[in-house]
Amino acid sequence: MRDVAKLALDTAVARGATYTDARVVAIQSRSLTTKSGRVGHSSESDSLGIGIRAIVDGAWGFAATANLSHHAVEATAARAVAIARASAFVKREKVRLAPEPPATADWTTPIRIDPFTTSIEQNLDLLFKADAEMRAVSGVTLTETGMNFVREESWFLSSQSADIHQTKYSTGAGYTAYAFAGSEIQKRSYPNSFGGQWQNRGYELIEEMKLVENARRVGEEAVALHTADQCPEGEFTLILDGSQLGLQIHESIGHPIELDRVLGMEANFAGTSFLTLDKLNHLRYGSELVNAVADARPEHGPGLGTFAYDDEGVAAQCTPIISAGRFTGYLSSRETAHTIGAARSGGTVRAEGWNRLPMIRMTNVSLLPGETPLTLDQLIADTDHGIYMETNKSWSIDDKRYNFQFGCEIGWEIKNGKRTRMLKNPSYSGITTEFWNALDAICSRQDWVIWGTPNCGKGQPQQVMGTGHGASPSRFRKIKVGSAYKS
């Protein structure tokens, strides 16, 4: 594969490229679902191809092919150069790449059990057992389960002498129980909604999830929601579980810090951003307890945004995004680093496969845990009156990532430090900076989990990318609650 990439580089340089890089990517995936005791779908797929970027006369060109023959690779590299040369006629300014030492590396996601050594029959058997436990609950009317594995092997070479080989694994699984009664639908998901929990790990993640052991409780809660009280409307103290807080981070911190959105270079699917350049190092984003980072380094944890090098050959880094409440950093690339006075890219450029142009994407955008020992039970015990919400049900946020509304699957009222009545259709809304400034307590490391978001969409044509969000349950004061689902 290195020879294929080297051929692409040589061809592009010979045709006039001042910079070029090539990514050969091989992807193996398995996707399994069940629905109410039957197989929903079962598929395995493989993909192999090369994507080539080139700069000519200060402009980018990109081309890709699944044909790795000598002739096809040469033709594709020539096409990338031709596109760059044509783009140069309409460029606003020349591309400026921040310097990056050329790396030679070979890295693989640390895993204990290769998920592809397990059989489809074994995977489906586990899903059917969880499915049966949910359907055993009277009142459950529909059940869905899913399990997914991905192995991505890539070879990145550049005309600046980078030579990087990486093999990344990701694993995900989860399920949902639905209860239909009258005109109302209630659901409960585990370990999270919209695909469950995903991490860059092997099959050991599946074994640790205890899917079968939690399935009956999930079904019982879905049914119980029909007789639960409607979430009250008003201003409340709000406690969010880690998975919901992970999505809150994704939408109201992760997307607005993408520097290409800030600069107006990209606006598909998630709009632009309220975090204009003048706010860097000046905006009070949240309370002093808010410390958020974008961290792709393996030592941060096995999030879907973990790697050794990004798709520009830049080493994984930790960028402080919010420091003691103050906005301190963006997600940047080699091309955009100079716009914020940075000498180096933040290493956040990735592409979905070989046939998409790499762009700035979230890595693991995480809220760091509290430094004072605090568990969820202790946080609830320290709250006189409030509402605790779990598991995302719906979300909406404006194209500047400023005004938002989230719905959750289930809630509980807190009175005198105790979790009391169950609440259905809980929701909350707010303004990004006001919300994060209302944070007054964060649970500590023992409750901190990196939640996976496997389906973040961006770009045109769309690219779906996995991101990670470390979070532990947190408390917010004076939050608007209950307006999304009025009784």
The pLDDT of residue 270: 75
Q: Residue ranges per domain, the chain? A: 2-227, 229-481
The pLDDT of residue 487: 56
The pLDDT of residue 486: 65
35, 72, 230, 443 from 266: Cα distances, Å: 37, 30, 40, 35
In whole angstroms, what is the distance from residue 201 CA to residue 449 CA? 14
Residue with the two structure tokens 């879905």: 222
In whole angstroms, what is the distance from residue 319 CA to residue 335 CA? 17
In whole angstroms, what is the distance from residue 480 CA to residue 427 CA? 9
DSSP string over 40-90: EEEEEEEEEEEEEEEEETTEEEEEEES--SHHHHHHHHHHHHHHHHHHGGG
Stated pTM of the model: 0.96
The pLDDT of residue 269: 77
Q: Cα(first)–Cα(last) distance of the chain, in Å? A: 60
The pLDDT of residue 147: 98
Query: Helix, strand, or coil here: 465?
Result: strand
The hierarchical CATH code for the domain 2-227 is 3.30.2290.10
Q: Which of 403, 413, 410 is nearest to 426 (CA)?
A: 410
In whole angstroms, what is the distance from residue 169 CA to residue 153 CA? 9
In whole angstroms, what is the distance from residue 165 CA to residue 261 CA? 29
Q: Which residues contact 411 (CB under 8 A, 6 or more apart)?
A: 231, 387, 388, 389, 390, 422, 423, 424, 426
- What is the mean pLDDT, run by run of 10 residues, along the chain of 487 residues? 96 98 98 97 97 98 98 98 97 95 97 98 98 98 98 98 98 98 95 96 98 98 97 97 98 97 88 96 98 98 98 98 98 98 97 96 97 96 97 95 97 97 97 98 97 94 95 98 77
